[in-house]
Every structure is written in C-alpha cells, then in structure tokens.
Amino acid sequence: MTPPLVLLHAFPLDSRLFDPIRPALADGIRLITPDLRGFGTGPALGDSTPDLALLADDLIGQLDEAGIDRAIIGGVSMGGYISLAVLRRYPDRVAGLVLADTRSGADDAAALERRNSAAARADRGEIAAGADAIAPLIAEGTAPAIREWLAGIADEVPAGSIAWAQRAMAARPDSTGILTRTGVPVLVVVGELDAITPPAVAREMAATAPEAELVELPGVGHLTPAEDATGFGDALTGWLHRRF
C-alpha cells in the first residue's frame, strides 16, 4: 500500500497551490497538504524564532495526531527545504521524498543578502504584493487565469509571515549531506524555465541522492504544480507506481 503523500507549499503561498493536481493524481493516493505556520489557515507564528525546524516539528505533530507513522514527504521550494528538515530530524518517519523546484544547499552570500533585505522591508510593511510577488516565480507564458489565482493567494500573506519565512529560509543548514546518505526513494521535479532553482540545480541534487529520479517539465517555471498540473501529477503518479 502506498504511504500517505504529504506536500508542503511554496513561499509566498498556501496549500491551495496543490489544488490543480488533485484531479491528476491516481486513485488510492492519500494526499495531505497542510497550510504552514503563518500561511493560510496554519497556526499563528506568535513570537517564535524563525526556523524551518519548527515547521518540520509542526508536520510531525500533525502526522502523530492522524496516526500516520511514515509518509512520503515533499514540497515545492520552501516546502522542499522543510521536507529536508523533516528528513534531518525525523528520518524514520520518511518513506520517500519529493523535492520540487528546490535545492538541498544553503543560501550563498548573495541569496542571504536578498533574504535579509526582503525581511527588513517586510518589517516595514514593504512587501511585493499580488502579481509583483508571483511574476519572478512563473514562466512568462503562464496563463493569465493562473497568474491571477496565484497572485490572489500571495496577497493574503501577512507581512509578518513574509519576514519570518525569509529569515527562516536564510538560516537553514546545508542538507546535501543528509540527502547523500538517505536510502529512501527520491523524486526531483523542476520546471524547464525555473529561474529560482534552475534545472542544473535539480540535476545536481538528483545526482546526490542514491535513489533519485529526475523529471523536468517543459515550458514552466518555479511553481510546477500550478503551471503544469497534469505533468506534475503524472510525474508523481508514475514515480509512486514504480517505487511503492
């Protein structure tokens, strides 16, 4: 029996990112898509220190409440970072990994500067809203309806969540070593036109994991479940069928 599949959303969105892929998934796949702390209907951030480990702990708590011992853990972009945090902290709970449009390495100096600057602006209430927040993430040819839908989700994210998440992502450790040592099946998905974590990064990550498969989706950018729901769903279904 295929273990439950948990998918964690990208920044700055919520679990609605995965709504388009639900019809594309094969019957029998139990899909769990929580809203992360500070996003959508997720728990409030409160005064918590920015740390993706907190979100990993949240997820394990939710799986405990649901009586789920092991699951396939995956995510897009920030969701992928959290999936790797789960692997680091709770390796026995991970039956497989799905890493979409993400990277295993820590931020370099330039990325750290961008994140810290974005967090400082968010502290002042200066955040990229709607279309401005989404445009760098998706391919130029993405349908207007998808652009507007994603922009609407991004518009609902509070400035405090933006600042917290940027600082938490900046503080994450390099996970390449843990990925190298994992023995679970790994699916790496990347959009051909992903400018944030480009295909070269995905190929390197797939080469790192011993049990990895790589799928590149043509003509799409960083938010593959929204930009190519059918392709993303087919990649997941095929991998699950082969490996579980």
Quick one: pLDDT at residue 159?
95
Which residues are paired to 214 by β-bridges? 188
The per-residue pLDDT for range 27-70, each reduced to its tens digit, is 788 999 999 999 999 999 989 999 999 999 999 999 999 999 99
Residue 191 main-chain phi, psi, to 5 deg = -80, 140
Segments of the chain scoring below 50 in pLDDT: none
Cβ neighbors of 67 (< 8 A, separation 6 or more) are none
Beta-carbon count within 10 A of 126 CB: 12
Beta strands in the chain (DSSP E): 5-8, 31-32, 71-76, 94-100, 186-191, 212-217
Instruction: State the number of CA atoms in the 13 A half-sphere of 43 facing the CB.
Output: 11
Residue 12's H or E segment, with its range, is: none
Quick one: pLDDT at residue 32?
97
Q: Is 186 exposed, middle or buried (0-12, 13-18, 19+ CB in 10 A)?
A: buried
Quick one: pLDDT at residue 28?
85
Domain boundaries, the chain: 5-105+174-243
Q: What is the pTM of this model?
A: 0.97
Give, in words, the CATH class of 5-105+174-243. alpha beta
Q: CA-based Rg of the chain, rounded to a whole angstrom?
A: 16
Quick one: pLDDT at residue 3?
96
Quick one: pLDDT at residue 1?
82
